[in-house]
Amino acid sequence: MIEYKLNLAGCQCSVVEWNPDGSILVFALHGWLDNLATFESLVEFMPDLRIVAIDFPGHGHSDHIPPGVTYHFVDGIYLIDDLLRHFEQKQINLLGHSMGGAISTLYAASLPDRVKAMVLIESIGPLTAKPEDGVSLLNRSVNQRAALAGKRKPVYTSFDQALTARADVSEVEKNLIKPLVERALVKVEDGYTWRADSRLRITSPVRMSEAHLVEVLSNIEAPVLLIEGEKGFITDSELLQTRKQSIQYLEVVQIPGGHHLHLEQPQTCAAQIQTFFQKIG
């Protein structure tokens, strides 16, 4: 494993490379309030893939954005494009879980000639909103931002207490999510707290409508593999199931597990990922 920092979309981001001798370069993008360690359990089962994983701004070991600035979900497309340019690639392969997959779909739609293939884990586009909900989203975002000034991050007296809390929220066994939690925590005077920027919890003030997103997804030209959990978010959502019809070249595989199925079934999930990228070439 190699770890270093890159300036991506104006932020110093932590980057980790696994399998540096792998023949197929893949950029791996994690989910909201997760970090790049979410892919750690997969890499040993994907030796042919050179995995370049990042901590998004405000997550893991990456820097937080400056005070007074807001995280915008869509800014992730600039980060992906900066990765492409840093590695001097004309086309890239993307692997994204949850939020990372949603950002990948936006990038693949906006610049279809730059994405060779894409694997989505429990992800098929970002959250949307009905037009009539636009004002309430704006209201909620402004009020949440103002309320942050009086909030303090939770502090856990021990690592195990924090690990238990995160495992319960994610509905994943503690031993499976431990690497992610280790990277997510920072030691403070009276215990442990989360590294992640609290501003990440502020609701996005603006979201696409579902009709808008469907048009965006239909512009994806790269072949896409969607890996969904039998008990995950996509399986349980009629709306997300409908989005599948918008993507031109889509394969779907369902694996036992929930939203973090890649932690629960790393070998099975990795086999699907590596085989798909090898097939594309």
According to DSSP, residue 156 is labeled B
What is the model's pTM? Answer: 0.97
Walk along the chain (281 residues) in steps of 10 and give the mean pLDDT of each run: 96 97 97 98 97 98 94 95 98 98 98 98 97 96 93 95 97 97 96 97 96 97 98 94 97 97 98 97 78
Residue pair 124/243 in contact by the 8 Å Cβ criterion: yes
Predicted pLDDT of residue 238: 94
Q: How many CA atoms lie within 13 A of 36 on its CB side?
A: 24
Q: How many CA atoms lie within 13 A of 158 on its CB side?
A: 3
Query: What is d(CA 256, CA 124) in angstroms, rounded to the nearest whole number?
Result: 18
**Nearest CA-CA partner of 190 in 147, 161, 149:** 161
DSSP 9-64: TTEEEEEEEE-TT-SEEEEEE--TT--GGGGTTTGGG-TTEEEEEEPPTTSTTSPP
List Cα–Cα distances, 173 to 167, 181, 202, in angstroms: 6, 12, 27
Predicted pLDDT of residue 281: 78
Predicted pLDDT of residue 149: 87
Predicted pLDDT of residue 154: 95
Query: What is d(CA 122, CA 99) in angstroms, rounded to the nearest whole number?
Result: 9
Q: Which domains does the chain show, CATH number per domain? A: 2-137+205-280 (3.40.50.1820)
Residue pair 26/49 in contact by the 8 Å Cβ criterion: yes
Predicted pLDDT of residue 150: 82
Residue 165: in which H helix or E strand, if any? helix 159-170
Predicted pLDDT of residue 192: 98
Q: Mapping DSSP to helix (H, G, I), strand (E, B) and coil, where does residue 7 land?
A: strand
Token pair of 190, please?
């009276």
**Nearest CA-CA partner of 98 in 115, 116, 73:** 73
